Amino acid sequence: MDDIVFIGDWIKDRLLGSGSFGTVVLWRHKNNDQKLAIKTCKWGDELTTKHRERWTKEVEMLQHCNHPNIVGTIELPPEFLTGLERANPSKLPILCMEYCSGGDLRQVLNKPDSCCGLKEVQVRKILKDLGSAMKFLHSNKITHRDLKPENIVMCNSGPNTDQNQSKITYKIIDLGYAKEIDSNSICASFVGTLQYLAPELFYSKTYSNSVDFWSFGLIAFEIMCGTRPFLPNKAPVEWMPVVKKKTHDVICVYETFHNDINYSKEIFPENHISRPLKALIEDWLRVALEYDPKLRGRDAPSKVTFAIPLEDKGTNAASNVVIFSLLERILSKKIIKVFSVTTLSHIAYQIDDTTTILTLKSWIAEDTKIATDNQTIISQMTYIDIGDEEFVIKYWNDTSTVMLFVYNKRLMVDDNSAPIVPKAVQRCLELHKGLYNFKNSQTLYRNAFYFVISQMDIYDAVINGIYSRAESLKQESKLLLVKHNTTDKNLGRLLAKVEIVTKMTELGKNHIESLKENGVGTNFLGGFGKTFKNADDLVEKTQKLQTAWSQLTVRLQSAARRSNEGISNELNSFVAKYNYQNMFTNAYKTFTSHKKTDFFNDNREKERQCPEIVKLCYDCLKLRSKILQELQHQQFLLKLKDLSTEFSKITEIVSKATENTDRLTSDLSSLLDEFNNCVWSTISVVVRDADNVADLPYSVVSFQKRDFKIGESVSNHCSPVPNELRDDSIKSLISESLTLRQNHGNLCDKLEMQKKLLQQTIFDFSFLSDNNP
């Protein structure tokens, strides 16, 4: 087939893969750039009838398996039937498939930065796609039997604008490749596939589709940890007897530094999976990696069943297959990922639609020891300090590594935060001249590279968190200005009303003084003194509030101007000077160089020192310490601290000023009501007790012409007085009555003043002072 380069308008691009029986070649159309992956059988008459049947069944299965996570078939262009006749000596059907340009999962796992597993977003996507494909196959009574990373390919289906990277779909290939498995075919497929085969395929003549559950579990563990769970450095004949002894809860068996066998109920701690998802997946792995095939993948691993059901038989079955439904439930869980900028730590929590920010703060307080009152939570979506009553689900995004940032109001970044160092790295730092065999050196290099990657991720999150805080302070200043302007308008209305009251009281005081000078009618005006005093107090309080408010306005405008100056340039300069790029490059080179080294191949138990990786780990810790120290003295960080404190104080002051403005406005309304009541009460007394209508001002009483009749009194209040009654006696009685009334009024005023003093609210504006802490 090597000599066949052109077939019609199709051009041979390259060889994609070659297996025991088939060869897959990529063909490209010269006009429209369409690509096809065409698989042909490379054998001829030497093929057995069984092999021919297996090939034909694979072609038939692929043609009938229409699923987005199973590689699809395409109708073979007719020119290939004749063009590939020489390359297809077996005359078996030619398989034409869609081309998946992303390579296979093994290529991803072989990357140095995948040495301790993939990122959580990628893990969730792989498990979702792979689980969907396997569920489809099993529902159609198809068992793959050769599930492994090499048989999982990636298809780029277009740009993902949210993450600015390719959106990848994972698809299964090679259906039916090991469909007919017996002892002979197992031996024929040993190379590259044994580590993912279920144990029963080695020692039993019968098996069910639960063999796929085992392979699925191994792949899930490997994409999370970068290595297989069961003694990955040993052959199946070595690890199977050891794994057979494990209990149901055990999902990992490994050799310690001193070559002891350790059974673990958890995945390796060096991974990129959040704590909630880790716990859920570990429960799922216990189901998938059950050693007994009769119990594997089922909901009752403790029950003993003697039949090996191929599928769920319903209520009559001893147990039900739950591996796919359980995985679906796990992947449907919503996990909010938070980065604590102060403690430099990634934290995550499982949430639902009713989880509030206040609840989230209580969880964060337990993990970071930052009190809920001192927490500020910000989303990169809005850059606004999120209120306690909001729902967390609003900020959940399953494609984000960090969904929320949390800050301590009193401390931006704690330079005393201790890093999480893998045990292997701790050992090499404590015993820098220690000796390592092949297995232990592999663990050390993997964990060291993971440590560098994790520190780089933390650093990136810190920088993003600082930038987000700067943007949030801009938003906070805008919101404060809006709140300030609202209060300012209300204060302006209050001042306008106070000005009216001030003029009214001035006129009233002047009028009363004039009456006192003339000695006329002052007995009726005793209640106005209290009203005028209350008005003076209210005016004094309003003037103090106005003065303090003017100072606050200047203070807020200054803070808002500083927040809008931004810190991007200063932050970029710092990142350019201090970063992990060189550290990552050195770690990458050291790790790849170690993988290519063959000095352990002759004697894997021979022990040697690893000085280059020890130095790398030491330099990583040194760089981390240097960055944290330098951060504390950076102007942009000091600026954010000051602005955060300033806005916190201004927010409190504006709230109190708003409250006082509303209270003074309410007091002013009460004062006006009291003043009006006093005026009209006085008018009523004057009208009732006046000697003559002529004594009343026109504004108090007015008569129409029709109300006057010749020979009659002009007021119904006038009573005929006998002529013999002396005017002196009448005046004396009136004077005594008025004196008693005035004394009574004064006594009432004193009692009212005492009562007011007990209830009076003291307006203290000292909190508006710049010296107030």
Report the catalytic residues: 146
Nearest alpha carbon to residue 610 among 421, 423, 443:
443
388 SS3 class: coil
- Please name which of 346, 285, 344, 328 lies closest in space to residue 120, comparing C-alpha atoms: 346
Cα 353 to chain center, whole Å?
14
Contact 403, 338 (CB under 8 A): yes
Element (H, E) at 96: strand 95-98
Cβ density class 50-88: b for 16+ within 10 Å, e for less: ebbebbeebbebbeebeeebbbbbeebbeebeebbeebb
Q: How many CA atoms lie within 13 A of 445 on its CB side?
A: 27
Tell me which residue of 203, 227, 197 sits closest to 215, measured CA to CA: 197
Contact partners, residue 276, CB within 8 Å, separation at least 6: 333, 335, 348, 349, 350
Q: How many CB atoms lie within 10 A of CB 386?
A: 21
| Angle formed at CA 69 by CA 84 and CA 95, multiple of 5 degrees | 10
Classify residue 696 by its DSSP letter.
S
Using DSSP's 3-state secondary structure scheme, residue 516 falls into helix
**Beta-strand runs (E) in 31-71:** 35-41
Closest CA to 515 of 687, 717, 684, 682: 682
Tell me if 471 sits within 8 A of 639, measured CB to CB. no
DSSP string, 661-675: HHHHHHHHHHHHHHH
Phi and psi angles of residue 274, each rounded to the nearest 5 degrees, phi first: -70, 155
Residue partners of 485: CB distance under 8 A and separation at least 6:
none
Which residues, 6+ apart, have CB-to-CB distance to 524 below 8 Å? 682, 685, 686, 689
Half-sphere exposure of 723 (CA within 13 A, CB side): 0
Identify the burial level of 563 via C-beta atoms within 10 angstroms of its C-beta, where 0-12 means exposed, 13-18 middle and 19 or more buried.
Answer: buried
Q: How far is CA 375 from CA 414, 421, 466, 474, 640, in A?
A: 14, 27, 15, 18, 15
Question: Helices 568-577 and 635-689 meet at what angle, rounded to 10?
Answer: 160
SS3 487: helix
What end-to-end distance do the CA atoms of the chain give, in Å? 84
Strand partners, 321: 298
